[in-house]
Chain A
Amino acid sequence: QKEVEQDPGPLSVPEGAIVSLNCTYSNSAFQYFMWYRQYSRKGPELLMYTYSSGNKEDGRFTAQVDKSSKYISLFIRDSQPSDSATYLCAMSPPAAGNKLTFGGGTRVLVKP
């Protein structure tokens, strides 16, 4: 069983809709949670970085962490065609500078 599970998609939504993404994990030691966006043939771009449980909002993006359920989510409001990309969740234990464990990524397609 993988440490981090993420539905590969593709997830297709109309422009303006809310995109809802999630990951589940098995390692209760994970304390830092990140969401990256990756366009084709590019490197992962950091979108959100959260610590422990709770919500964090940044513009159109909202990240949620539920440690009791080992479940994290990313919501993208007012989605745009430029949001079409692969979204990767990543997480790490609390030790400073620790290595990231990634999900496989969800491909999102926002149709105009």
Chain B
Amino acid sequence: EAGVTQFPSHSVIEKGQTVTLRCDPISGHDNLYWYRRVMGKEIKFLLHFVKESKQDESGMPNNRFLAERTGGTYSTLKVQPAELEDSGVYFCASSQGHTSGSYEQYFGPGTRLTVT
């Protein structure tokens, strides 16, 4: 079974540009999460989807960040316009949820975003 995949693995953009990160969860997982780790800090929660609905977006830093999960499958996280402080590693995680009662979160390899 394929794990959580993320694309791209690394992105370097200039301040003011737009970047879109993609996450493909484990097949059949209803729950999808985005997290971020900035340099020297712990991994922090950004938001949580249940299928295509945003369940919790309390961790989104500001309105420059837009997450979508059309059709309840893959998700995208767009940063527009990017700022220097957005640099970090963005992780996606998924879990099965209500259908199985399993909420263990499995993480993807992350996208390393560098804003210059």
Contacts and interface: CB of A to CB of B under 8 A. Distances in A.
B56 A96 contact: no
Interface size classification for chain A? 20 to 34
A100 B45 contact: yes
Interface in B22-66: 31, 33, 35, 41-45, 48, 50, 55-56, 58-59
Nearest to B91: A43
B7 interface: no
A44 B56 contact: no
A97 B95 contact: yes
A6 B90 CA distance: 21
B97 A102 contact: no
Interface string A64-108: 000000000000000000000000101000001111111111000
B97 A45 contact: no
A43 B110 contact: yes
B52 to A, nearest CB: 15
B107 A44 contact: yes
Contacts of A41: 112
Contacts of A98: 56, 103
Contacts of A36: 107
B109 A102 contact: no
Contact of B104 (A42, A43, A46, A104): A46
29 contacts: A34-B104, A43-B4, A43-B110, A44-B91, A44-B107, A46-B104, A46-B105, A46-B106, A49-B104, A88-B43, A96-B97, A96-B98, A96-B103, A97-B31, A97-B50, A97-B55, A97-B103, A98-B56, A98-B103, A99-B33, A99-B59, A100-B33, A100-B35, A100-B105, A102-B42, A102-B43, A102-B44, A103-B42, A104-B41
